[in-house]
A and B are shown apart, each in its own frame.
Chain A
Amino acid sequence: MRISPLLNASRLRTPFLYFLGVLCLVYLLVPAHAAAPPDVPSVIVIQNATILTVSHGTIEHGSILIKDGKIAEVGQSVNAPKDAQVIDAAGQFVIPGIIDCHSHIAAESINEGSVSVSSMVNMAEILNPEDIDIYRDLAGGVTSANILHGSANSIGGQTLVIKLRWGQPAAKLPFEGALPGIKFALGENVKRSNFSIPGQPKRYPATRMGVEETIRGAFSEARDYKKAWGDYNKRFAAGEKNLIPPRRDLRLDPLVEVLEGKRYVHSHCYREDEILMLLRVAKEFGFKVRTFQHVLEGYKVADELAAAGVGASTFSDWWAYKVEAYDAIPYNAALMTRRGVVVSINSDSAEEATHLNQEAAKSMKFGGLSHDEALKMVTLNPAMQLGIDKRVGTIDVGKDADLAIYNHDPLSAYAVVQKTLIDGRVYFDRQRDIAERSEREKEKKVLIDKLKKSAEKKPEDKKPDATVPIGQKPAEKKPEVKKPEEKKPEEKPKPPQSNGADVAAAAVRPGGAL
């Protein structure tokens, strides 16, 4: 893959194309499917479908009744009222909406990479509901995603789970009631083995030993801080007067929440030794690791993971992009599952997320998991890992109507998503998307022609000076400059692409160091 086009972020190469880019931006801001979130018919019935419930087997020629965004009935037949909106899914397969346990979509930035403990920053505050990757992943059957901070720091930023409610404002994206998380990271990325940033001094830690001490140090502080507040609250409650409360520390607050079990730890890791290291540290300070992310050597310490009751969220078959990924094997998911670990397959990439169903299927080939076990890797298991399995992850009465409908068995490379529903609303409909394309092309052409005309009238607008500031805008839409370095090593092995993310991937490989 040539680097040049990748670095050419917006790929807008002529003044005219700059205008085009602006148009695209304007256009993107108001696409028909984005501007207006789908209406909610109060009652929907999906009929004649093969329903893969995940919790209680497969129902052939079954129906699902959806009321007020929830699954009201599921079975061979349901009591649908006459005015229910009917989705005929004859010959099609319905599965619970896919849950991606490691995603960086819908975010304005990914890494606060300047410090080794960046727990004060929060992904919830920088959600971008107009990120086109939300729609693309929705078109891949994804309904919920764990939006993680990058892996630049031993202790990274705060994270949250969202639903892919394309067209809704940022405030409507968070998964209501889902426990927030925090990103940890171990290994090559945090010790910056594979790159350096010009002008920035070498940062502690630079070894796996230092990574442990960074985390221990932060939790040591957090424990003292927690105690100081506990003491203060106790004395305050006892009626003591003239007390000065401890100074609030935004960096330690989320770590106290971790100690109190109010915030999940999602830790990026690769090697077996660092996995066990974090489990020891967690034990020392009395907190739980909720999931290990990537965990490509998890299969070497599967018993320890199972004993600790920690979830493992891994790639299907990525390997060899760095040293700590050289022992990665596609049997990882199956092997950990066999040893009793709850395993999910994640994407860490907007592209990979569009076919997580296929990635899950690979665990049948590599390690011989059953169809049900494989499907769980992208539905129930990630739901359990994120603590949202009471709401989503299976097709059961009372759960959210988050569903993906395919034209074939979803664990096949030939399956295509036809519809994706969230809270009982159809957020993606392939037929509608195709039908709207010619309209959108026409609309785009009208806008381009209009701009061309105005550009002809005012030739000075074609000057580079005039176009550069405008041209920057489309680039800002893309995540490339905002997805900084440390997150990227995970995306690196992706087959070459030219989306914005790859621009970042390229940007973070100075001197071939990665």
Chain B
Amino acid sequence: MKHTFNAVRIILLIAVVCALPPRASAQSNAYVITHAKIFTLAGNTIEDGTLIIRDGKIAAVGAGLDIPAGAQVIDAKGLQVYPGIFDSITQMGLREIGAVSATVDSTETGNYNPDVVAATAVSPSSEHIPVTRAAGITEVLAVPGSGGFDSGGSSNVIGGQASAIHMAGWAIEEMLIKKSAAMVLNWPEIQTQTFDFATFSRKEKPYADAKQEYDKQVTEITDWVERARHYAQVMEKSSAAKYDRDLKLEALAPVVRGELPLLVFADRSREIRNAVEFCDKQRLRMILAGGEEAYKVKDLLRSKDVPVILRPSLSLPPEEDDPYDRMLSQPAELAAAGVKFAFASFDNSFARRLGQNAANAVAYGLPYEEALKAVTIYPARIFGLDDQVGTLEQGKLANLIVTNGDPLELTTDVKYLFIRGQLTSMDNRHLRLYEKYSKRPKAQ
């Protein structure tokens, strides 16, 4: 019975969504959500609240607001409104099927590619986008060159520019929040063991050799940064005609000017410490990505004000003798130490597990509101997008979700989803296949 009821609800919902014009028009660009419990995440929760959307933005949010004429009204009695979920590391649109290289555009050849930009290769019609959107995720960071399942085992040192995108749009121009939101740097590691694909076996390397290789890579990175700094000075002081243009150094100029943050991938405490010290010395803005052992350097991260994009809490500990819940309890430990962090899926297929990961961190001690903020306003703040998304405040983009419960819980449904003020369809590949095969006549 419940199944039938749900199916009916889903069909009704689709009918409602389909009935509404997909694009803004003079008449339909205003929506009003009434009688909802509104979690603004900007300090207050409104019990019987009204939220008005106009021209893509939140025009007003509060209790007992007047409903503007001509607006479409959504009676959300019994429902809850939250800012849309922000997944701050994905390969969204850059990878469709991990095993098929023709569908993968996430990692460019070569070690130093600061000039490549994720937005260039994001496929707006990727099936991952609507599937992920149905989980309430309204914006993501598409991150290039950070390895991943699709990279064939390689990641660059400087991987390129990550783009912040809306999870809806006919073309990338409509999806862009910020084309260049961060520069990817994969911090090198001292590796005494490597896997040799040519012989399909593990190779041992003396520590001294591994250290030498590591030092060489750090020297290279330093060299790139110093060259970029010089280049930026030349750019500033000379006219363009006076110097040879270098696209890679030009791309790094905002980094050395401190305008563009470095998204630095590192997991082990020694590498994290080295990366933080490097960025500090070079006066670069650092965001740590990964951070499996961030808890070991939490004081350093707090004192240097380095925020962390954490790997999924649902991960096994890096060491066999770590407590079994090491990754689950780390977020609580970081929060208590005053380290800023956000959650991310680091993936596409598993992006819809973002809320689940946040909830699991709550189960192991993280205050609930911190978990909610770590998938909304915190990532927005970390990437400097909090003037546009992350909370429900007047003037921000209307990226929001209307749910029948806690958006981090496994069984909660997203009932309505707005991106840039547009009521956006939650139809997706999975729902379509489900409906198609639900209707299969009984097999002969």
Contacts and interface: CB of A to CB of B under 8 A. Distances in A.
B242 interface: no
A433 B326 CA distance: 12
B87 to A, nearest CB: 12
A322 B103 CA distance: 11
Interface string B1-18: 011011100000000000
Contacts of A408: 363
Contacts of A440: 321
Contacts of B268: 5, 11
B113 to A, nearest CB: 15
A1 B148 contact: yes
A124 interface: no
Interface stretch (B171-179, B225-233, B430-438): B430-438
B206 A511 contact: no
Given A139-B325, A364-B411, A464 B207 contact: yes
Tier of interface size on chain A: 35 or more
A441 B189 CA distance: 26
Given A8-B194, A335-B438, A498-B292, A509 B413 contact: no
Contact of A136 (B292, B312, B324, B408): B324
A139 B270 CA distance: 29
Tier of interface size on chain B: 35 or more
A510 B197 contact: yes
Interface in B385-444: 408-413, 429-430, 433-434, 437-438, 440, 442-443
B320 to A, nearest CB: 5
Contacts of A351: 314-316
A361 B346 contact: no
B356 to A, nearest CB: 5
B430 A330 contact: yes
B353 interface: yes
Contact of A492 (B147, B149, B352): B149
B2 A368 contact: yes
A320 B428 CA distance: 14
Contacts of B324: 135-136, 139, 354, 433
Interface of A: 1-5, 7-15, 24, 27-28, 31, 132-133, 135-136, 139, 188, 193-194, 197-199, 299-304, 307, 317-323, 325-327, 329-331, 334-335, 338, 350-351, 354-355, 358, 361-362, 364-370, 408, 411-416, 433-434, 437, 440, 444, 464, 467-468, 471-472, 474-475, 477-478, 481, 489, 492-499, 501, 503, 505-507, 509-514
30 contacts: A2-B186, A4-B189, A8-B193, A136-B316, A136-B324, A188-B99, A300-B440, A307-B443, A317-B352, A320-B349, A322-B98, A329-B434, A330-B430, A335-B434, A350-B316, A361-B411, A368-B3, A369-B3, A411-B410, A411-B411, A413-B409, A414-B359, A481-B202, A494-B350, A495-B312, A495-B347, A496-B315, A498-B292, A510-B200, A512-B152
List of 5 A-B pairs having minimum Cβ-Cβ separation, nearest first: A512-B152, A303-B443, A464-B206, A413-B359, A368-B6
Interface of B: 2-3, 5-7, 96-101, 104, 127-128, 131, 146-155, 186, 188-195, 197-200, 202, 204, 206-208, 210, 265, 267-268, 270, 292, 311-312, 314-321, 323-325, 345-350, 352-353, 355-357, 359-360, 362-364, 408-413, 429-430, 433-434, 437-438, 440, 442-443
